[in-house]
């Protein structure tokens, strides 16, 4: 027997579906179910997630940046895309709602959400949709299994960072270079030197970095240059306040150099320590800060951006990454704290340093559907 809840109160009910997208999780909304005004929409999202509060005890957020995300989906413009997706990065402890960067993990949940919410109909045994991520204008094609025109979630694909296996969702990115930044290498250099004073010792510090954006603005640093290994555990790195202070100081300098202005309140650029792989099958070892806590795995577009640095001559990853085979299609295995992330990158031999396509596999599924209840003070009742 099903049970219907009734509600007659000063809480406002907003339809949504809680989705896992890759190694992230958050509520997905139809754009028509949220306020059109951006400030009002942000208030509604903050209330839905329970931010700001480190534990997000009064909302859906999971007290971590990877579970403080929301997706907003609508039909795309004919001739341009089947679906339009806006990704919103919230934070547990502050009141920012950032729709400037992309999130390739939440992106994986867009097609299942669109099918489940009736925004799009399944095509046949396999459904493919072109998705425009409005955050940066990025286009991709997403493919999932829909036997009998029903989404299938069970399957054999495993992604590190998520227990078990599920049906694969394939994402083909069409154009990722320079997402938030003006170009793939926003300073025009494959390596820049970042000069800071160590915030704890006051000692001057000069560190070589690759400032790069192939879908995600990132600062790549050789772990050895900071007397670390990039094999440390997430807990060790999160407890390493000396390292975190240096990384944040480097990030502020890098943000200005990348043309991003003052990034002190922004969730990007992400900071990534790199090292030669310890596992023979991997191409590179990574530990990513997003940007102040260490990622348990690595973001999707972060992995694409690191992979891109591996195949670009002259970056800090050159001489660190172990590449097998010789283009134009490179398979890069990016090792991270909970396993590895394989990305396929296609380069154009006629244009050295250009990536014409990137592809990867994720899994995603709806976890719960219903209505999130937010105080009417955050979005007044009609
Ligand atoms: O890089 C985390 C994640 C992400 C972003 C972050 C992402 C991406 O793992 O495309 O997916 O970098 O804050 O979801």
Q: What is the per-residue pLDDT for 294?
A: 97
* Same domain, residue pair 276 and 311: yes
Q: Do 366 and 71 meet the contact criterion of CB atoms below 8 Å apart?
A: no
Burial of residue 189 (CB within 10 Å: 0-12, 13-18, 19+) is middle
pLDDT tens digits in sequence order for the chain, 382 residues long = 556 677 789 999 999 999 999 999 999 999 999 999 999 999 999 999 999 999 999 999 999 999 999 999 999 999 999 999 999 999 999 999 999 999 999 999 999 999 999 999 999 999 999 999 999 999 999 999 999 999 999 999 999 999 999 999 999 998 899 999 999 999 999 999 999 999 999 999 999 999 999 999 999 999 999 999 999 999 999 999 999 999 999 999 999 999 999 999 999 999 999 999 999 999 999 999 999 999 999 999 999 999 999 999 999 998 899 998 777 899 999 999 999 999 999 988 888 778 889 999 999 999 999 999 999 999 998 8
380 assigned to some structural domain: no
Does ligand 1 have an atom closer than 6 angstroms to the CB of 71? Answer: no
* Same domain, residue pair 155 and 289: no
pTM attached to this predicted model: 0.91
Q: Do 169 and 294 meet the contact criterion of CB atoms below 8 Å apart?
A: no
The structure tokens 């049970």 sit at 3
Does ligand 1 have an atom closer than 6 angstroms to the CB of 270? Answer: yes
Gap from CA of 306 to ligand 1 centroid (Å):
12
**In the chain, how many domains are there?**
2
296 assigned to some structural domain: yes
Task: Give me the CATH number covering residue 84.
Answer: 3.10.310.10
336 assigned to some structural domain: yes
Does ligand 1 have an atom closer than 6 angstroms to the CB of 105? Answer: yes
Q: What is the per-residue pLDDT for 202?
A: 94
Kind and range of the H or E element at 44?
helix 38-49
Does ligand 1 have an atom closer than 6 angstroms to the CB of 303? Answer: no
Gap from CA of 299 to ligand 1 centroid (Å):
3
* Same domain, residue pair 212 and 346: yes
Q: What is the per-residue pLDDT for 2?
A: 58
* Same domain, residue pair 162 and 237: no
Closest CA to 112 of 148, 73, 140, 138: 73
Q: Which of 104, 176, 179, 215 to mutate to test the pocket of ligand 1 (most atoms within 8 A of CB)?
A: 104
d(CA 145, CA 45): 31
Range of the domain at 259: 192-362
73 assigned to some structural domain: yes
Residue nearest to atom 13 of ligand 1 (CA): 290
Q: Which of 99, 302, 363, 364 to mutate to test the pocket of ligand 1 (most atoms within 8 A of CB)?
A: 302
């Amino acid at each position: 027997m099903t049970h219907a809840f009734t509600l007659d109160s000063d809480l406002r009910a907003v339809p949504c579906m809680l989705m896992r997208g890759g190694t992230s999780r958050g509520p997905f909304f139809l754009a028509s179910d949220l306020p059109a005004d951006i400030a009002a929409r942000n208030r509604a999202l903050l209330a839905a997630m329970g931010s700001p509060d480190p534990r997000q005890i009064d909302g859906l957020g999971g007290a971590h940046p990877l579970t403080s995300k929301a997706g907003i989906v609508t039909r795309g413009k004919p001739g341009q895309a089947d679906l339009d997706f806006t990704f919103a990065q919230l934070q547990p402890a502050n009141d920012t709602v950032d729709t400037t960067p992309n999130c390739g993990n939440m992106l994986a949940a867009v097609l299942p959400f669109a099918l489940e919410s009736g925004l799009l109909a399944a095509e046949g045994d396999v459904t493919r949709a072109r998705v425009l991520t409005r955050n940066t204008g990025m286009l991709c094609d997403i493919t999932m299994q829909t036997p009998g025109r029903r989404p299938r979630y069970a399957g054999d694909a495993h992604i590190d960072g998520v227990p078990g296996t599920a049906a694969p969702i394939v994402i083909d990115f069409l154009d990722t270079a320079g997402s938030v930044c003006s170009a793939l290498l926003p300073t025009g250099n494959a390596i820049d030197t970042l000069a800071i004073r160590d915030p704890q010792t006051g000692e001057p510090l000069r560190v070589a970095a690759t400032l790069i954006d192939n879908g995600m603005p990132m600062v790549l640093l050789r772990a050895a240059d900071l007397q670390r290994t990039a094999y440390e555990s997430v807990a060790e790195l999160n407890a390493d306040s000396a390292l975190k202070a240096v990384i944040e100081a480097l990030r502020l300098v890098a943000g200005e150099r990348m043309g991003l202005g003052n990034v002190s309140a922004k969730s990007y650029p992400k900071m990534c320590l790199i090292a030669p792989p310890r596992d023979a099958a991997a191409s590179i070892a990574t530990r990513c800060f997003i940007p102040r806590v260490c990622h348990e795995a690595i973001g999707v577009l972060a992995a694409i951006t690191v992979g891109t640095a591996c195949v670009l001559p002259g970056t800090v990853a050159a001489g660190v990454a172990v590449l097998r085979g010789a283009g134009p299609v490179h398979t890069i295995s990016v090792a991270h704290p909970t396993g590895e992330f394989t990305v396929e990158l296609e380069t154009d031999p006629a244009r050295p340093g250009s990536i014409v396509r990137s592809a990867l596999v994720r899994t995603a599924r709806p976890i719960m559907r219903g209505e999130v209840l937010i105080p009417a003070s955050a979005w007044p009742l009609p």
